[in-house]
Every structure is written in C-alpha cells, then in structure tokens.
Amino acid sequence: MANVYANLPVPAADGVGAGVSTATMGKQRTVTVKGSFFDAAGIGAAITIEVSANNVNYAPLFTFTKTGKRTFNVAALWMRVRVSGTKPGVPVAANVDVGSWDTACQAVTPAVPAGNGTGAATNISALGSFNTAIVVGTFTGSILIEVSEDSVDWTAAFSFTNEGLKSKVFTAQFVRVTRAGVDLSVPGTAVVTLCAADDFVSSGLAAHDMGGVWHTADALADINTKVSDDELAGLQKVNEWEAANWNDFTTLDGSGANTEMDAEDGNTYKLPLEIATTQLDNPDNMVAGMRWDIVVVQDNPARALTFDTYYKFGDAGAPNVSADLTADKRMMMYCLAFSTTEIFCTYELNF
C-alpha cells in the first residue's frame, strides 16, 4: 500500500482556494501547514481546512492559526483551504499539504425532506466502514441520519442541529435522512452527503492496522507463531514505564455555536472560547470507561460555555464559565464516561 499526497492551494488573501480531489485517500489524513501568515506576535490569518463530497458543499475540518502538522480521521472526496482574518501588512505565504494511504473514498447524497418527515432510502452497501457525514445549509429543527440493514428497522447514526461534519465507524445497507422540529415558516434547506472509506487494503489480502504499521493476514499469522508462552506471560504483566508518557493536545473548535468532539482523538483536549456562547456537544465514538481532560481557555472579553446532555456535574452543578472563569484564564475539566450517555465531570477554575 502506497502513500499518496496532495497540495492544497492557499489564497493570498481572505477567500477559498481551489478544491483538490482526495478521492484516492483513506480516512487517516495528515495535514501539514508551513510558511508565514502571522507576525512576530503570532497575530495573523487563520487557515481552515475544509472537506466535501462533491466539491460544492464544504464543511470545516480544522483551523490552523500557526504552522504545524495534525492527523485527522475523515472521509472526503475533496479538500480545500479557506483563509480568513488576514491582517494589513501581514502577507499570507503558506503551503498546505495532505498525505494519506491509497484507499479510495466513495460518497452518496441521500434525499433531504423539505420539512418534517423522512427522505427516501439510499443503498450504501458498496461503501466502506469509516463514514463521515457532512451537512451544509441553513435549516431549522434537527437532521437525523439513520442506517438500516433491511430498510425496515432503522437506527440513528448521526444527529445535526447545525451544519458541520461528524464521523463514525459502521456498516449498513441503507441510509436515509429524517427532519424533525422544523419551523414551517422558515424550514431552510440542507445538503447531506455521506463519504466512506475502508480501513484495509483492497488487494485481496486482509490487512490490519497495528500501531500505524499495516500487516497482511499471512504476516499476522507468522507473527503469532513467534510469540512463546514465556513471552506472552511477560506481556500480561502490569506495564512498567521507564519514561514519561503523553499525547499532544487535540484542539477543539470553539468558534461556532456548537463545539464537536471525538472521544477517539486522544485524552487531552484544549478548547479556546472564541464566540459569545458555544455548546460542548456530546462526544462521538465514546465508550464507557474512557477518561479525558479538557483545558478551557477563556477569551477576553469572557465567553460562555454550555454543556450537552451527557455532561453531569453532580451537586456542584455545571460551571458558570462566563462569570466565574476570568478573562485569559483557564479551566481544567476532568471527565469520565460512566456509560455511553453519561459523562461524570469535575472542574477547577482560573489557572
């Protein structure tokens, strides 16, 4: 399996660059941003990576405010760069590259009802198992993306109350879109696309991802024969670490009305507040027993943060972030997924 790369054109001023086909890329994509687009004080433009299924309807993936490299799990047939917030006298001279492995993506565009109701089912049996739903448009109420094996019994895969994207692993035969709670005086419209990619090599031999190294089924069988009983017993001991262990912060996007989070992205998150009020949405891909920390970074002036239904703060109640978290200070949140619908949280203010 070969690696594939693409360069994403970067506008020299506020605007969007041309879309680049990434249909030959798998779900794991590493985006590298180099060059100059901010001054010595770190003030300058924002570079937002956007993804699409059709090179028309794009959703933001992540915003860079400095150079760096990040890896994302996302299925998309197209990617592009949006530049915003350029400063006078601070030129944008950036380069953006994306790399992945050569596992192709596919996409479907299920029908979206004009108001409350359910659209026609679309067959997705040929799609891969890693799915990214992209919703673009201005609409009222909620959009529910449902999947089924028989087109009779349906279960929810994604839910949206605003445009954006979400990803999840599943396989299904059919997908459909349901709208509920629509304000019929201003129903709005939305385009829903579902992109999917496989997590294995399509060469006829099954392949498995082991710590970033891909092995065929034959290679795995060979590996299994080389682990003795004594070695296996050693592997079953409690881990003994000889050095500190850590993972990089995953920065959440606090610039919109809703802040999305994928619990599989790591154990340490940073949430800079950038809008008057944002809601921390229930995480995707959460499993009972997961633990993670979130550093909430207050803006100046102070912003508000609300919490979706899974977050539970006990008798203390949720923090009043706009009132109790001082401008330019930070709040530590400690989270434990007690179940797939409950997150027990504690917090400390003003670091």
Residue 10 has pLDDT above 70, yes or no: yes
Residue 23 has pLDDT above 70, yes or no: yes
Task: Give the Cα separation of 299 and 203 in Å (integer).
Answer: 50
Please tell me the pTM assigned to this model: 0.60
Residue 205 has pLDDT above 50, yes or no: no
Q: What is the DSSP string of 105-123?
A: EEEE-----SSSEEPPPEE
Q: State the pLDDT at residue 264.
A: 84
Mean pLDDT along residues 21-33: 92
Q: Give the chain's mean pLDDT.
A: 86
Residues 6+ apart with CB under 8 A from 131: 75, 157, 167, 168, 169, 170, 194, 195, 196
Fold of 3-103: Jelly Rolls (2.60.120)
Which helix (H) or strand (E) is 166 found in, with range? strand 164-169
With cut-offs at 50, 70 and 90, classify the pLDDT of residue 295. Answer: very high
CATH class of 106-197: mainly beta
pLDDT for 240-278, tens place per residue? 656 666 667 889 988 888 999 988 888 999 999 999 999
Mapped to the 3 state alphabet, what secondary structure does 15-61 carry?
A: EECCCEECCCCCCEEEEEEEEECECCCCCECEEEEEEECCCCCEEEE
Task: Give the Cα separation of 223 and 232 in Å (integer).
Answer: 12
Q: State the pLDDT at residue 223.
A: 45
pLDDT for 148-179, tens place per residue? 999 999 999 999 999 999 999 899 999 999 99
Q: Which of 342, 335, 314 is nearest to 268 (CA)?
A: 335
Chain length of the chain: 351
pLDDT for 35-79, tens place per residue? 989 887 778 899 999 999 999 999 999 998 888 888 889 999 999
With cut-offs at 50, 70 and 90, classify the pLDDT of residue 216. Answer: very low
- Residue 179 burial class via C-beta count within 10 angstroms: exposed 0-12, middle 13-18, buried 19 and up: buried
Q: State the pLDDT at residue 245.
A: 60
Residue 3 has pLDDT above 90, yes or no: no
Task: Give the Cα separation of 319 and 325 in Å (integer).
Answer: 9
Structure tokens at 54: 């059709």
- Which residue is listed with tokens 């890693």? 130
Question: CB-side exposure of 333: number of CA atoms within 13 Å?
Answer: 28
